[in-house]
Structure 1
Amino acid sequence: MARPKKSGRRATGIQGRSGYLYIIKNNYIIKDGNKILEKQWISTGLKDTSENIKKASEMRSRLLKKKEAKSTDRNISLSEYADGFLEKKKREVSDTTLSSYFYRANRIKNYFGDTKVKDLNETMVENFLDDMFKTYKVQRRTVKDTKVLLSSILEQAVKEGLIATNPAKEVVINKNLANKYAKEKDTDEEFFSYEEAQRFLDAIKDHELYELFYVTLFFGLRREELLGLRWSALDFKNKTMSINHTVTRGTVINRVNSTKTDSSTREYPLTDEQIEMFKRLKDKENEYRKLCGNGYFESDYIFKHRDGSLFYPDYPSKLFAKLIKKLPELPQEITFHGLRSSCVSILVHRGMDVKSIQKWVGHADIDTTLKIYAKVKDKEAKKEISDAMTGIISLKDYPDK
């Protein structure tokens, strides 16, 4: 079989150049007031061989079926295209999700700069993902999420006819770098045992926001649910508390009458002691209202600053981190979110079944509950074994120093 020419036509709309196959598209543009025909060369990434000509033709057919966005400049940079992609996403995702997209997109834009979408290739994407590990020492999950976003952006470019294939689609994350920069422990999974939770509450019983931490631990609330708790959600007559409003941080702070998932919208029974606790909080709020006078910020939210101004979404997390440092006898790796898992830990300790625990804390997926359940049981089992072994195999008596 004769070798392909260095350049020239291979099939309808397919030409070879510099050893690779290209799809040729004819675009009409307006130049100097005249409509002229301009050829657009779209790389297939395939080497110029007779076996690949059919593949290139199939790629061309798929490309021509796509509706090309007339407003998109085929020489557009990845940074500009990413901005347009995020603008469209505003209609499809929540503001919190959009905020995470912006953060990942900034990494993409800062790395690629003015690189044109049509010039991207797999090697460039691989180098970018590797650089995230080497330069920023990020974790595999961050690299994976960033790759997913980049791939989504480039998949849109394929649909709009800017590129023939998505160069990020088949790229594999460097496993060696992921292992090299992996943290030894996932601190988000830390939680209190039953005894540790009680010691924590005992240690902070005189703290001004004791009730905030108590409610988080007892009901297993998410931070956004805790901050979204309002007086109107409490029904003292029927002794109930409704979780139906959240406060989240995205590109802005969002206060909405909805929860993370349908299962997150739930109602809790309140004990007489808990009702008394909330009534005392209301009395304290009224005292602060009188002290601040016209400077008091009115709202229906329960947990807030003395002057009525609302907590920033990160406030409980930062406050908890400061408190835990003052209690070295407790796990230092636990985060505020760990109090939610600590609620599950307490319920497991009390012998509650998994399904009941899932409904109590509002997990959408029972696998999340099972994961924490297994960790609690594993921790308790190891403690029991340790206690049993200590009774069987004893250390010798060491003389006093």
Structure 2
Amino acid sequence: AEVTHRLAALVRALWTRDYTPQLSAEFKNIVSKHSSQFRGNAQHDALEFLLWLLDRMHEDLGAASPAQQTRGSQEDGGGSASRSPLAAQHPHGQSFVQSHFQAQYRSSLTCPHCLKQSNTFDPFLCISLPIPLRQTRALNVTLVLQCERWRFVRVGLAVPLLGTVADLREMVAREGCIPPEQVILAEVSPRGFLRSLGDKEELGAAGEGAPLYAFQPPPARRAGCPRSLPASPGVARPEGPRLLPATARSSDCLHRGPGGRILLLLCNTAGTGPQLARFGPPMVLQEERGISWEQLQQSILAQLRALLRGEMRAQGTGALFRIRLAGGSSPCTYLSPQDPRPLCHPAIDRALQLSGTGGPPHVRLTVEWDISTKERLFGNIQEEVVQDAESVRLQQQAHRQQHSCTLDECFQLYTKEEQV
């Protein structure tokens, strides 16, 4: 019992303030004598030494070593589920170490058919508790909805780390008070559209490649209703008709064949190569597939009329720009001004099939302007102005803080019920 006696002398000296360095040296020599792994002056794991010391004290006090105890198992019908093998022993049969440092972990297995319960007790001196990790991350989404309140407003969301795009679509729908099937999620970079997001995609990479935008299709347009997307905040709005309130159902936005309507996501770019840059707000159009190039161009200009210079509002004849199909299997496909029905191009059909699940089928188009035409019609306008909602700051602040948890939460995770 040399180890226990030397430890008692060391603790007593510390408690009575009679400690001298010689006591630590003597205790170290005794430990080295009884355990070769702790000889010398090398650094060792503190937990490993504590477990060895408790086990040695347990042996010195005349009881069986906890490491030598075998697993106790008790099976019953559930009536004595709380009893353990050690509970049946006399208290005097336990050592000081066992009564103060040892516990038992009860694992219960219940048959779902006969409800018979089997209890297994595992004695332990220490357990390694898992630490609950943060389950969400902050993600900013720019809303481009038909509601005036949520047009070009960036909101902050706490999205699940292991969720899917379908979860994000539901969160955006709740934020904007619209049906989830009307939400189109796309990554929009300073150079144009990158991709649309489908419901089955994992949420981990969403928004990593470029800022994330959530679009809502415009309502079904009645005959004679002017087409115009209001400008983003900070851009002057011309006097004139405005969009009707968003009352359309998602079924109004779906593609229904070559003769039906098609949903278009457009962004305007100017320049080439490294100088290529997006300008103005991204737009959402709903057009007949049978329209001509001239009609499509006029529709795009109508969307941009709030950004056009005053003296250029009446212009719009001739091919002012090129229209490229963004993304998909044919990233360099251009619509031809000579095509009588450019939206019936086979590449449009392929893009509709690849638009992803969850939101309305749509096609992403990039309107390419040469720099001189862009400067003449729009001046030096850059990207849209986006306002940050208060949720952006709150979510960033919440996720920058160090994640904390309680000991009770660690135990709850460790003892969480599992179904086999």
Q: Structures share a fold, TM > 0.5?
A: no
Structure 1 or 2: more helix by fraction: 1
Structure 1 or 2: more strand by fraction: 2
- State the TM-score, normalizing by the size of structure 2: 0.19
Between 1 and 2, higher relative CO (CA 8 Å, sep ≥ 6) is seen in 2
